[in-house]
Structure 1
Amino acid sequence: MKARPPVSLLIGIRLLRGAGRAGLARFLLMSLGCAMGVACLAAVLTIPAILSAHDSRAAAREPQPVTGALHTRSADDTVFLTRQDPYGSQPFTRIFVGRPAGAHLPPPPGIDHLPGAGEVLVSPRLREVLAAQPGLAGLLPGRVAGTIGPAGLTGPDELYAYIGRAPGQLPASARPLAGFGSKWAPTPAVDSSTLDILRFALVCLVLLPLAVFLSVCARLSAEARARRLAALRLLGLSVKDTLRVNAVETVAAALLGAGLGVGVYALANEVLAEVGLPGLQWYPPDGRPTTTVLAVCLIGCPGLAWFVGRHRAREAATRPLQVRRGARPRPPKKYGLLLLLPGLGVVCGYCVLGVLGHDPSEGPANAVFVPVGVLLTGAGLVLALAPVTAWLARRLAGTTQSLPMALAMRRNEVEPSSSLRVVTGLVLLVYAASLAQGLLVELAHISRPTSSTQEYALPLGDLSESRRIRMGQVEGVKGQAVAMSSWVPDAGSSEPRITAVVADCAQLAAFSAVPPRGCVDGRVQRLTDPEVAEDPAVRPGRSYPFLLSAGGRAGDTEKFRVTLPRDALVIQAHQPSAFVGADVLIPPSALPAGRQPATGSFLLLSDSAPDTVRAVLDGLGTLAPTAEVEAVGVNVEALQQITVVKSLLAAGMVLGRAIGVAAFAVSAADRAMERRGRLAMLNLLGARPLTVRAAQCIQVLLPLAVGLVGALVAGRLAESSYLITGGGTVHWDAEGLPLLVACTVGILLTAALASLPLTRRHVEIQHIRRD
């Protein structure tokens, strides 16, 4: 004999099939709500996989030098040289490869052979940039002979190139190449510490509102479903079977929604991969849901729906008569305060320390206490809203003389959860927006330019005198100088070293934030900066040797001694600058004829406008494609990571806002359907439409106003605690408060308009409760 399905399963299926248009609408609304939530959940869970794929491909192509102290560079070695320049805030990487004739070495992923001398292999994005900006070709000496495939790139927008050169064309700093591939990426898309902060932010921005949203979807038409389950229980169905009947509808809707949500995300991934985010683009396979993501979405979402729906179903199964007769629900539990109070205690404690001037930014305890405090505060806001609203409604209902106010307060007192489903998503939206604003404030402070000028440092050993002259004439360059350190017998010597700047007074003024007074051309002068502490080992009146060479020829050096003057010239260098900490100014005329510093840096200066910086870097790369150009104070990897984090935070904020608005829309529509019977009774009793509408509006606005004010205050405290412990200089974000207040007022107005029911004088018989 075939095993028959359980009776509860059959009843649940029949209820789904015979629920009518209202039941079908409820089922579809639950499914579509779950689909949207699962799509957002899949997007958040896939972010680590996208970043991991980025780092894996970066590690697989990393060139590895030949190791070993006994190995020296020979004519048979394939050598390489890595150069990375900032292209705006994006890194531009060039790998110079010098391969002797007949040498064979396995190529890195993405190409089938290493480029020969005069050949260049570029990424697709770099090929497009070259077509739009031909001046960039000076950085890529040779002809473009091929394109790098996706396996050798971190993303479609990466600027990457392999440049083939003869081994003799590469400088002595080029290293013998052993192969390609490393265990770790040289520059991860997001470093581990920042990734932890990003995960925490996405939990607050997306996952907390998402849990509330899925709970709202699972409890759609909770009152009607509870009455139906209570009727089944009174007909003789056991408690366990009653819960199973409820689970059939809830889990079926969640499963359908989860499948739709995964499908929607999969389609969106294929489209978004072509567009990408600022600073982060990925290939479609990187963002496709993994087995773990599918398991979380297809199992976790129905499991959450079953758990949430089980609470109301158990009440109908254990108290069927009270549910059928519309008895007063049990008062909301106050255990939410047990989460809210400790959370507020933690964040308020850090704020008090910040006010008192005690900086608690150091210490590993902050990495635990701050996230825990923020999460407890957010969860406590949601769970404590019901008892607080019920208490406040009871106090107001006993004192008010207004009929709409009395109707609204009595309903909130008796059944606070009916309105809380509408407002909870919006409350979490404001709370999460405060936290996101704190993260953006810190990132903006880190990435904001602090100087009106930009300096460039190039090793003197890589430049001839004629090339230096031409570099000084590059468009955008408005100053040049040479920085060098004094000579010591050996690297481990304890003798003090000083830093000298070879420049005239006009060049010194160009590199200074404030033009120095008292500078005399042709005279050696000691330099002091009031913002930099002087080295006590550096004594005026003492002579320090510097190495000079004849035309840059190695081995032909001589010592040039400079006596440190006692009188000082006060300067104020830009921050950051290679002039910070300089000890002495040496005029070019003081150097012996035909001699120049043997070691040191050639410094150039331009404005800090991005277009100017890009033009100067292109010009310098054209004149010296293999020279290492350091944009002083610009960490291109850090800028790239900040851009990626900002993009992911912005995406999280968009998802969080969409979830909050969707939770409000779904719960408001469900509440309007549930309230039709009560509205019909009020119309039958002769209540005016204006009174009914005012009562409905007040019933929503009271818990929403309480929740939004609490979210605004708690969010500001949580944001300040994060800024105080983040180590940045900004501890109090006063600029973001007006925006949050304006958004809060806008949310109140929108909720007031959306809560107005469509009341009519006509009374529909099916909406009147007969019991």
Structure 2
Amino acid sequence: MILRWCRELGMGAGFALSGGRPGWTRMLLTALGVGLGVMLLLLASTAPTVRDAMQDRMGARSPVFLEEGEEAGGDALLASYELTGFRGTMVSGLLLEPLGDPEAAVRPPGIDRIPTAGELYVSPALRDLLRSEDGALLAERFDEASIVGVIGAEGLSGPHELHFYLGTDTLSKEPAPSAVSSFGEDRSNSGMDPVFVMLIVVIIVVLLLPIGVFVLTAVRFGGESRDRRLSALRLMGADNGMTRRIAAGESLVGALLGLLVGACLFLVARMFVGEVPLPYGGVSPADTVPAPLIAASIVVLVPACAVLVTLFALRKVAVSPLGVSREGTDRGRRLWWRLVLPAVGIAILAVLGGGSASAADEWAIVTGVLMTLTGFTLLLPWIVEVVVARLRGGPLSWQLATRRLQLNSGPAARTVSGITIAVAGAIALQMLFSAVDEADREATGQGPSQVQLVASSSVDSSAEGLAFARGIDGAEGVASSFSILRADLPLVGAEPDSSGRQERRSVVVADCAALDKLITFSSCADGDAFVAGADGDGDSFADRGDASVVRPGDRLDLDNAYPGTGVTDPRPWDVPRVEQAGTREFTVGETYEGLFVTPSAFPVEELSDIRSTVLITLDPRVPDAAEHVRNHIGIGDPGLTLHALSPDANSTEMAAVGDALRAAAIVTMAVIGASMVVSTIEQLRDRKRQLSVLVAFGTDRSTLGASVLWQTAIPVVIGLVIATGCGLGLGLLLLRMAGLPVTDWLSFVPLVGAGLAMVVLVTLASLPSLWQMMRPDGLRTE
């Protein structure tokens, strides 16, 4: 039996290959529709290899720092991370200083030697930016360094990463420099927040499910012309089972050719993937390799689905020598079985709800979302059939479109099913993404007139700290600033922890005007001291029993140098009487709790190590004000830091997910549009004779063009209505799983608008084929 089935499938393949120009055209359209889907599936299958390759490179360049007390070898070097920003983009780097012979020192991948002081290795993207007109302001930050080389691809996360290595001789002058014994760290176990995992899983399902629908739709192209061939086969003596398997063989050829087309399109797209500015430095074409197991599944499942879908489509088709009839055409489609799949999917997601997403199994989420979205698609043909059956009257173009849909709404519903899934999934996804994005924001309570930048530097005295603050206050783009001095002092008499570190207390020294911006108090005069901080219940910081609380009578060591600096003899300072104070609403990125003292109440000049912190408000009238301040600060000084604050400080992971979502959505919508064009052209080919007859009887071309528009628009509008309702419902279920509130009820508006715009674009793209098929030679027959 297996041999007979293979022989009949092969016979169908032979018919497809020997069908002349119409057969080849139909097969090429099928291959193009399948190929577009296969291309996107193959691109998606590269995600695991891209992620692994990126993690391997990031791990290979990560410095392995020596533990405290560990002896440095002859190949060790000093290293310090250096981060700066430029117009919202992070520029990362590493300061390097060899301890011994630079030639013998370990080096990160991508460079051939350790740069000496003032030498700079940059990534290709950073080199191009520094040389461009847009990067002239950033180039001022690197003016004192000379570029001596370019970092190789093995030392970068991606082709667009902005990364550098800067040689310096200042690290050895730091109190506690960090020595590096080697480069290379295992980052394979780096975890991710379960809510982010759920978000990414939903993104993958939502973006790839429409592609699967389009593949299944493409393998059913040419249904009406296929019916005529099947009748001829029955006339020649074939039974029903044989005709179905021959039809499946025809679909199999289109699917196999579609695999080849999809692989070619993938190879072409792979060549340009490095040009797309994706998160984390983009993706290198060399990394864009399909995961073997996923690629093998695509190669096996696409042809298998082509055969199974054809057999399924013909299960209720009676093929006779006189024609083809379909069971149940008069009574219409049944509804009850179409409700089972979405009901089960909704039940799975509802069981996972109640804010327990962190413990939910990703496979259960995938199953629930898949079944729910697929169930919505199964409802579409039934709803389209019910709606179009009630459409009456209207202009001639409207009547031509509605009558065509009433005769056979299946192809139109199948064509629209992909966009219905895409829009429904995108609405749910956008609701989830908006809620996760909102929850990920760290509201600082800042306004435009408050702090946007915080600069900090190690100083030796209050006078040096004052000079540092005055220099920043006079920098271009600074509207105002205030400064504080901070120190971490060891607690005298406290037992060291298991690692030998002594317990420390944080002290902030500032005048009353500066303290007023950080804490609240009834009155302040020079010589006062405050302890500030309160939890959510209003309990004072001093009453909570926190191990880091400073109390009157505590003794703090003014020799606050860290181990290894040579300072050993303690010089205790007794904490004076303190007043209770409260913290301000905004915390400028840090928790300002603990001991706050005015200058005369604390012997600042006796400290061994102190940091001057300047809190900066930018002038909104100065373009690139933040960049001017960064240029004033410069790079290369490990003891000096500058970081930007924002009322909405999104995490890097969230920003990356958002960028990837937008890029993938653009690609998916492009494939949706292309597939709809191919499907519309195939439907027009099946109606070539009818179109020619209508033209011969005097029907205007504009009327026929408008009928194509209505024939596309009616199912799409119905599908968008279904997608909106189902997408909002699915979004609510996903938010319930994540335990998040709804933050975006209008997420469907731009998506529905994009769907309607696609109707117009598909119609315009199919008009040339329509004009060609309305020629008189379409009346010819054999």
Q: TM-score, normalised by structure 2?
A: 0.80
Residues 766/141 of structure 1: CA separation in 2 closer, same or farther (3 Å cut): closer
What SS is found at the alignment partner of 1:478? strand
The residue number in structure 2 matching 1:534 is 540
Displacement of 1:575 in angstroms is 3.8
Residue 437 of structure 1 pairs with residue 430 of structure 2: yes
Contact (CA 8 Å) 1:35, 1:259: kept in 2 or not? yes
1:61 paired with 2:54, answer no
Deviation for aligned residue 1:220: 0.9
Aligned to 1:423: 416
2:731 is the alignment partner of 1:719: yes
Match of 2:227 in 1: 226
Partners of 2:505 and 2:772 lie apart in 1 by: 88
Q: What is the CA-CA distance between 1:374 and the residue it aligns to?
A: 2.8
Q: 1:725 to 1:620 in 2, by over 3 A?
A: farther
| In the alignment, structure 1 residue 149 sits paired with structure 2 residue 152 | yes
Q: Unaligned stretches of 5+ in structure 2?
A: none
What are the residue-to-residue correspondences of 1:340-419 with 2, within 5 Å?
Answer: 340-345=342-347, 360=355, 363-365=358-360, 370-392=365-387, 396=390, 415-419=408-412
Match of 1:85 in 2: 83
Match of 2:484 among 481, 484, 487: 481
Q: Give the aligned residue type for 1:364.
A: A
Counterpart for residue 572 of structure 2: 559
Shift of 1:704: 3.6
Q: Residues 524 and 587 of structure 1 are in contact (CA less than 8 Å); yes or no, is this contact kept in structure 2?
A: yes
Residue 228 of structure 1 and its aligned partner are, at CA, apart by 0.8
CA distance in 1, matches of 2:695, 2:145: 85
Deviation at 1:92, TM superposition (A): 0.8
Letter of the structure 1 residue corresponding to residue 99 of structure 2: R
Task: Specify whether residues 193 and 294 from structure 1 end up closer, same or farther in structure 2 by C-alpha distance, changes over 3 A only.
Answer: same
* Structure 1 residues 133 and 208: CA distance shift in structure 2, 3 A: same
Partner of 1:663: 675
Once the two structures are superposed, residues 354-408 of structure 1 have per-residue CA deviations (whole angstroms, 9 ceiling, x without a partner) of: xxxxx625641385665443322210111122233334555x37xx688989987
* Contact 1:229–1:313 (Cα < 8 Å) also in 2: no
1:305/1:5 CA distance change after superposition, 3 Å: closer
The 3-state SS of whatever aligns with 2:558 is strand
Aligned partners of 1:222 and 1:312 also within 8 Å: no
Distance of aligned partners of 1:17 and 1:409 in 2 relative to their CA distance in 1, 3 Å threshold: closer
Match of 1:502 in 2: 509
CA contact (8 A) 2:16 2:253 kept: no
Unaligned runs of 5+ in 1: 354-358
Residues 14 and 78 of structure 1: is their aligned pair in 2 closer, same or farther, counting only changes over 3 Å? closer
Tell which deviates more after alignment, 642-651 or 405-414: 405-414
SS in 2 for 1:629: strand
> Which of 511, 519, 528 does residue 523 from structure 1 map onto?
528
Paired residue secondary structure (1:71): coil
Query: CA separation in 1, counterparts of 2:604 and 2:26?
Result: 91
Alpha-carbon deviation of 1:49? 2.1
Q: How does 1:170-319 map to 2 (within 5 A)?
A: 171-184=174-187, 194=196, 197-205=199-207, 207-237=208-238, 241-277=242-278, 279-289=280-290, 291-292=292-293, 294-313=295-314, 319=319
Residue 557 of structure 2, aligned match among 519, 522, 547 = 547
CA gap of 1:53–1:10, structure 2 versus 1, over 3 A, is closer
Which secondary structure does the structure 1 equivalent of 2:575 belong to? strand
Distance 1:315 1:599 in 2: 85
Write the deviation string for residues 678-706 of structure 1: whole angstroms up to 9, x where unpaired. 66788999999999999877766554443
Taking a change above 3 Å as real, the CA distance of residues 328 and 49 of structure 1, as seen in their structure-2 partners, is same
CA distance in 1: counterparts of 2:494 and 2:99, whole angstroms: 35
> Which stretch shows the higher mean deviation, 477-486 or 672-681?
672-681
Q: Within the alignment, does 1:111 sit opposite 2:104 as a pair?
A: no
Residue 305 of structure 1 deviates from its aligned partner by 2.5
Report deviation, 1:32. Answer: 1.9
Give the letter for the 1:504 counterpart.
Answer: D
> C-alpha deviations, 1:242-280, integer Å up to 9, x for none?
345334432322233322222222222222313432543
Question: 1:356 is matched with which residue?
Answer: none
1:42 corresponds to which residue? 42
The alignment partner of 1:563 has SS state of: coil
Amino acid corresponding to residue 486 of structure 2 in structure 1: A
On the 8 A contact 1:386/1:417 being kept in 2, the answer is yes
Deviates more, 1:585-594 or 1:29-38: 585-594
Structure 2 Cα separation of the partners of residues 138 and 759 of structure 1: 61
Assess if the C-alpha contact under 8 Å between 2:553 and 2:574 holds in 1: yes
Kept in 1, the 8 Å contact 2:36–2:675? The answer is no
Deviation at 1:218, TM superposition (A): 0.8
Match in the other structure for 1:52: 52
Distance in 2, Cα, partners of 1:315 & 1:642: 49
Contact 1:125 1:157 in 2 (8 A): yes
Q: Deviations over 1:469-491 (max 9, x none)?
A: 33552224722112345642325
Aligned letter for 2:745? A
Label 1:265 to 1:168 Cα distance change in 2 as closer, same or farther (>3 A).
closer
How far does residue 738 in structure 1 lie from its aligned partner after superposition?
Answer: 3.9
* 2:338 aligned partner, one-letter code: G
- Please say if 1:645 is aligned against 2:657: yes
**26-35 or 269-278: bigger deviation:** 269-278
Q: In structure 1, what residue type is equivalent to 2:64?
A: Q
Does 2:605 match 1:594? yes
What is residue 71 of structure 1 aligned with on the other side?
70
1:490 matches 2:494 = yes
- Counterparts of 2:595 and 2:36 in 1: how far apart (Å)? 66
Q: 1:77 to 1:471 in 2, by over 3 A?
A: farther
2:464 pairs with one of 451, 463, 466: 466
- Check whether the contact 2:489–2:558 (CA below 8 A) recurs between aligned residues: no
CA contact (8 A) 1:339 1:377 kept: yes
- CA separation of 1:652 and 1:97: change in aligned 2, threshold 3 A: same
What is the number of residues matched between the two proteins? 745
Q: Distance in 2 between matches of 1:228 and 1:313?
A: 14
Distance change (3 Å), C-alpha of 1:606 and 1:325: same
Q: How far did 1:436 drift?
A: 3.6
Amino acid at match of 2:27: F
Distance in 2 between residues matched to 1:761 and 1:213, nearest whole Å: 24
Which residue is 2:23 aligned to?
Answer: 23
Check the 8 A contact 2:171/2:638 in 1, yes or no: no
Distance 2:647 2:774 in 1: 70
1:646 Cα deviation after fit: 2.0
SS of the residue corresponding to residue 585 of structure 1 reads strand
> How far is 1:236 from its partner?
1.9
Report how far residue 654 of structure 1 moved.
0.9
Distance 1:749 1:215, change over 3 A: same
Write the letter of the residue equivalent to 1:590.
A
Q: Are the counterparts in 1 of residues 79 and 171 from structure 2 also a CA contact under 8 Å?
A: no
Q: 1:541 to 1:161 in 2, by over 3 A?
A: closer
Shift of 1:525: 4.0
Supply the AA of the counterpart residue of 1:473. G
Secondary structure of the structure 1 residue equivalent to 2:112: coil
Q: CA deviation at 1:431?
A: 1.0
Q: C-alpha deviations, 1:579-630, integer Å up to 9, x for none? A: x44244311233337324x5665422124789444444444344x6122637
Counterpart-to-counterpart distance in 2, 1:256 and 1:40: 16
Contact 1:370 1:721 in 2 (8 A): no
Identity %: 23
Tell me by how many angstroms 1:20 deviates. 3.7
- Contact (CA 8 Å) 1:141, 1:625: kept in 2 or not? no
Q: 1:255 to 1:472 in 2, by over 3 A?
A: farther
Task: Give the TM-score, by structure 1 length.
Answer: 0.81
Q: Report the RMSD for the aligned CA atoms in angstroms.
A: 4.8
Task: Report the 3-state secondary structure (helix = DSSP H, G, I; strand = E; otherwise coil) of the residue aligned with 1:54.
Answer: helix
The verdict on how the C-alpha distance between 1:267 and 1:363 changes in structure 2, with shifts beyond 3 A counting, is closer
Q: Counterpart of 1:663 in structure 2: which amino acid?
A: S
* Alignment CA distance shift 1:34-1:629 (3 Å): same
Specify the SS of the correspondent of 2:431. Answer: helix
